[in-house]
Amino acid sequence: MNNARLDWNLVQILVHKDWYFMRQALVAYLGAGLLGLFLMSAGSEGTFYAGAVLLFTVLISLGIHLAMATVVQERTQQTLAFVMTLPISPREYTMAKMLANLVIFMVPWLTTVVGSVLVLHFGLQSGGLIPFALVVLTEIFLAYLVVLAVALVTESEGWAIATMVTMNLFFQGFLYLVSHMPGIAETMKGASAVWSPTALGLLMVEMALIAVVIGMTFRRQGLKNDFI
Amino acid sequence: MTDLAARLEGVSKTYAHFSLQDIGLDLPQGSVTGFIGANGAGKSTTIRILMGLVHQDRGSVTVMGHAMPAAQAAAKRDIGFVSEDMRLYKAATVGWHMDFVRSVFPGWDQAYADQLLRRFDLKAEHPVKGLSHGQRVKAALLLALARRPRLLVLDEPTTGLDPVARHEVLAALMEALMDESRTILFSSQNTLDVEQISDQICFIDRGRIIESGDKESFLDRWRRVRLDVPPDVTLPAQMGAIPSPVASRSGRLTAVITKSFDQGMTDAYQAAGARVLSVEPMTLEEIFVANVLSNREAAHQ
């Protein structure tokens, strides 16, 4: 990968392009996410779980949809050749793809994070669930980045799908493990959040892994020789 | 390099089932080079290396003064590229694509884009999803031409087009040739298309450039000599005569194909006792086929 300066204007144009194509889907996912938050805050235990499941489903589905639509399909539908005829370097392409995906994913993800905290703390007086919710939502973000990284590096539908399946299976186990973990399990039913070393440690590990995945994606993309 | 829009020197690329070997190709400024090869000959790989989209294993590539692939972003500011397998975004309109490309290229010529839109019978509000293959190629060509590139690289743009669409595309290219400073590399399996617009010809087969030069010299040098050869006469070996299977014999009648015809050749045949029935010019397609077959034959031997 050459070290020439990035053309940020071009990166911005490419980010805007992906935003344009994903805008309608984004509105739909955002709407479903807000519905999930509404259900969570509705009051009964049944609607709370239904809302939580809907929120997780929305975020996981959005991650899969984004990686497939903005990266894998760009190759399978042969629009990558069109993009790569623009005065763009592989590094700018990777930067644009990462930024576009992060920006688009962050809108519903941040809405969910902030909405969950508000609902749990103020709506349901169940602040004890906040550390658990943040650890789980950050795992969804990390899993999405892993899928995106595999999609970008391999540009393979098969590898991307295999990674999605693996990350979703891992998520089920992760939910169970974290909810039974000492330092989290015993404070989950409290009215206010307790930031145990376990909860903080998990969040820090997740953040570090997010940084590693982003760094490795750029590194692997830099070693790539053939773009179409 | 000042007179060259692009130069490939000793370029090689190896895949599991195909390799491009020792490719050398010069594109003089203002030239129109027809790049002819059969399916799988290596045209698209060569072009992708030239564009910086595929990295060569060995050799050097310089385009518009920029070393490729390292400086591909700078080089692509001056390149318009259309490929048969390139697709536009189905969810967007032709107009959206025009706005998108215009936002990237400051030299975008909107008046010319509008003119091409009318000529190609396209509408800005046409969704790409509903376009035929021919319309998609024309839209891609519009997007490449309206940025007024100094180098236009066209990878089989006329493949799969109906005769009318092919005519329209070639007419637009002919007009693009009016700008004498613009260099064009045009790859195709269709020698008729290449013959119409090219002044330089390059043949590629099985990953190797087998011959290149200016078109007129190709057409001047290559001839088919038809002979009446009595049974007891043996034809003398001639410089430039293409060996069997390109030479064909049926009874007394023999056709010899040569890539460097001169009058001395027919004189030698006559002196040996053969009668020269005709000396015929060859089409580019015939020259290409003869060239490929003789090179494959030579490779087998």
Q: Is residue B245's pLDDT more than 50?
A: no
Tell me the per-residue pLDDT of B85-121, one tens digit each, with 9 for 90 and over: 899 999 999 999 999 999 999 999 999 999 999 988 8
- pLDDT at position B250, please? 63
A226: nearest CB among B54, B87, B92 = B54
Sign of the alpha-carbon dihedral angle for A41, A46, A52, A54: negative
- The separation between the first and the last C-alpha atoms of chain A, rounded to the nearest angstrom, is 16
What part of B 30-59 touches A (C-beta under 8 Å)? 48, 51, 53-55
| Contact between A203 and A211 (Cβ < 8 Å) | no
Assess B91–A contact: CB distance below 8 Å, yes or no: yes
Q: Which 8-state DSSP code applies to residue B127?
A: B
Q: Is residue B24's pLDDT more than 90?
A: yes
Question: What ipTM, to 2 d.p.?
Answer: 0.86
Q: Between B182 and A110, whose confidence is greater?
A: A110
Question: Rounded to a whole number, what is the distance in Å from the CA of B113 to chain A's nearest CA?
Answer: 17
Tokens of residue A42, six digits: 């509705």
Assess B253–A contact: CB distance below 8 Å, yes or no: no
What part of A 79-108 touches B (C-beta under 8 Å)? 79, 81-82, 84-89, 92
Selected residue of A14, A24, A85 to mutate for chain B interface (largest B Cβ count, 10 A): A85
- Across the A:B interface, residue pairs with CB atoms under 8 Å apart total 68
Q: Is residue B246's pLDDT more than 50?
A: no
Residues of A in contact with B45 (CB under 8 A): none
Residues of A in contact with B140 (CB under 8 A): 82
Residues of B in contact with A85 (CB under 8 A): 51, 76, 79-81, 86, 144
Q: What is the CA radius of gyration of chain B?
A: 22
Residues of A in contact with B80 (CB under 8 A): 85
Work out the burial of residue A20: count CB atoms within 10 Å of its CB; fewer than 13 is exposed, 13-18 middle, 19 or more buried. Answer: middle
Question: Rounded to a whole number, what is the distance in Å from the CA of A101 to chain B's nearest CA?
Answer: 18
Assess A17–B contact: CB distance below 8 Å, yes or no: yes
Tell me the per-residue pLDDT of A203-221, one tens digit each, with 9 for 90 and over: 999 999 999 999 999 998 8
Tell me the per-residue pLDDT of B188-232, one tens digit each, with 9 for 90 and over: 888 888 888 899 999 999 999 999 999 998 889 899 999 998 888
- pLDDT at position B144, please? 94
At CA B234, angle to CA B231 and CA B239, rounded to 5? Answer: 145
Interchain CB distance below 8 Å, A87 and B83: no
Per-residue DSSP letters for B218-249? Answer: HHHH-EEEEEE--TT--PPP-TTBPPTTSSEE
Tell me the per-residue pLDDT of B45-59, one tens digit each, with 9 for 90 and over: 999 999 999 999 999
CA-nearest residue to A84 within chain B is B53
| Contact between B8 and B24 (Cβ < 8 Å) | yes
Question: Rounded to a whole number, what is the distance in Å from the CA of A81 to chain B's nearest CA?
Answer: 5
Question: Average pLDDT of A94-102?
Answer: 94
With CA atoms as reference, report the closest residue to B158 among B144, B141, B146: B141
Residues of A in contact with B75 (CB under 8 A): 87
Residue type, B131: L
Interchain CB distance below 8 Å, A226 and B92: no
- Residues linked to residue B26 through DSSP beta bridges, in sequence order: B7
Interchain CB distance below 8 Å, A85 and B81: yes
Mean pLDDT for chain B? 89
Residues of A in contact with B103 (CB under 8 A): 13
| Contact between B222 and B55 (Cβ < 8 Å) | no
Tell me the per-residue pLDDT of A16-43, one tens digit each, with 9 for 90 and over: 999 999 999 999 999 999 999 999 988 7
- pLDDT at position A224, please? 75
Q: How confident is the model at residue A193 (pLDDT cuts 50, 70, 90)?
A: confident
Tokens of residue B147, six digits: 């940025």
